[in-house]
Amino acid sequence: MDLRQEQINRAVLLLGSGDVVAIPTETVYGLAAAINSKQGIENIFKLKERPFFDPLIVHISDLKQLTSFTKNVSKKELEFATAFWPGPLTIILEKADSLNPMICSGLDTVGVRMPAHPVAREIISKLDIPLAAPSANKFGKTSPTQSKHVHAEWPVNELLVVEGGESNIGIESTVVALKEGSSGYTLEIFRPGFITAEDMEKLAIWDKPLKIIYVESEKSPGHLPYHYQPKKPVVIIESDSNVLDQADLATISQKLEIDVQKYAILDLGLEAATAARELYTNLRLLSEQDIDIIIVFRSSKNSKGLWNSIWDRLNRASSLKINSIV
Ligand code: TXA
Ligand code: MG
């Protein structure tokens, strides 16, 4: 048996006995426990130092598993979700009464995702119990896209992190609810992600008018104003020129109340998929440099599609936004 297979089998055993294990997914690594383990679910919150008001996402490997923890799922909801599954889409469904309320923070809904990563899928299907899994980072901090990012927060002897290579999408799933009314469908986007509004809109399944709205809700703390924060403060400068002058630095020092001497610039490049994949790794790498702040220039051009999701994360990761006059 190879090393990876051994790790997968160990993960299945541990999860089956109620332990927490970190697993790779194509978006970010997750801190997983079986949904039927009260202890495991509690331990996720403890390990993450996560407030109980922030609901977890449940991961499945097979549609059949849905019936064990959801109810009244409509044909359209299924049709919609499976258009992107397996993949980086989380759909909000009605929860079954039997599902541990701690997973959903007391809401009557549950977020569900079928990940595409082969290791995640193999673990869930071998266990044959869905896994509740938030991103495997301390609450409010940068999400992990490599196993070593998870080990940076929890040492090897405290947590099994199943190796799955680098997450190739790199930002969290799109969280969305589908509502059907007599006059049409509404998609409520709670958290933008790799699957964009444009991707959802162009599906051939809409047989009535479709409305897409962005919801800022305390039900969806992935949407708290401060989240995903790296170790060094991130400053966003709204500017098309990518030039930083002394006046900008003075403003930043004054607003952040630190004496900014050294900074690094996060260059997002021109390709959104690459920028998403490398975003969290680059924020981590820059944080390790001998600098006071990380600067990102936001040009007025980069705001459509996947860029919108990248900027959602950067806005929440940032401590300050300024307009440059240059
Ligand atoms: O890509 C992902 O979604 C990753 C991987 C591991 O699957 N998971 C992830 O989980 O990002 P987490 O816990 O970091 O983010 C879950 C977010 C919550 O903060 C909340 O915004 C939203 O999903 N969510 C979960 N259940 C919800 C519900 N019932 N209603 C509204 N939003 C919900
Ligand atoms: Mg998270």
pLDDT in tens, 228-261: 788 899 999 998 888 888 888 999 999 999 999 9
Residue of minimum CA distance from atom 18 in ligand 1: 222
Q: Mean pLDDT check: name the lowest of 34-43, 172-181, 235-244.
A: 235-244
- The verdict on the CB of residue 190 being under 6 Å from ligand 1 is yes
Q: Ligand 1 mean position to 134 CA, how many Å?
A: 6
Expressed in angstroms and rounded, the spacing between residue 236 Cα and the centre of ligand 1 is 25
DSSP per-residue string spanning 237-296: EE-SS----HHHHHHHHHHHTS----EEE----S-HHHHHHHHHHHHHHHHHSS-SEEEE
CB 280 within 8 A of CB 149: yes
Give the CA count within 13 Å in the CB-facing half-sphere of 271: 5
Structure confidence at residue 216 (pLDDT)? 79
Distance CA 147, CA 77 (A): 33
Q: Is the CB of 54 under 6 A from ligand 1?
A: yes
**Residue 223: pLDDT over 60:** no
Q: What is the pLDDT of residues 78-116, one digit of tens each?
A: 999 999 999 999 999 999 999 999 999 999 999 999 999
* 322: enclosing H helix or E strand: strand 318-323
Pairwise CA distance, residues 186 & 97, whole Å? 25
Does the Cβ of 113 fall within 6 Å of ligand 1? Answer: yes
Token pair in block for residue 43: 């331990």
Distance CA(269)–CA(293), nearest Å, equals: 19
Beta bridge partners of 184: 181
pLDDT at 325 exceeding the cut of 90:
no
Ligand nearest to the CA of 99: 1
Peptide bond into 86 cis (omega under 30): yes
Q: Which residue has the tokens 């964009």?
A: 196
Q: Is the CB of 174 under 6 A from ligand 1?
A: no
Question: Rounded to 10 degrees, what is the CA torsion of 283, 289, 293, 297?
Answer: -50
Cα gap 217→224, rounded to integer Å: 8
Cα of 104 vs centre of ligand 1, distance in Å, is 10
Mean pLDDT of the chain: 93
Specify the amino acid at residue 45: F
- Tell me the backbone φ, ψ of residue 184, rounded to 5 degrees: 155, -170
Is residue 220 over pLDDT 70?
Answer: no
Which ligand has the shortest distance to the CA of 280? Answer: 2
Strand order in the sheet with 318-323: 263-265, 293-298, 234-238, 318-323
pLDDT for the residue numbered 227: 72
- How far does residue 71's CA lie from ligand 1's centre (Å)? 19
Residue 113 Cα, ligand 2 centroid: separation in angstroms? 14
Question: Is the Cβ atom of 95 under 6 angstroms away from ligand 1?
Answer: no
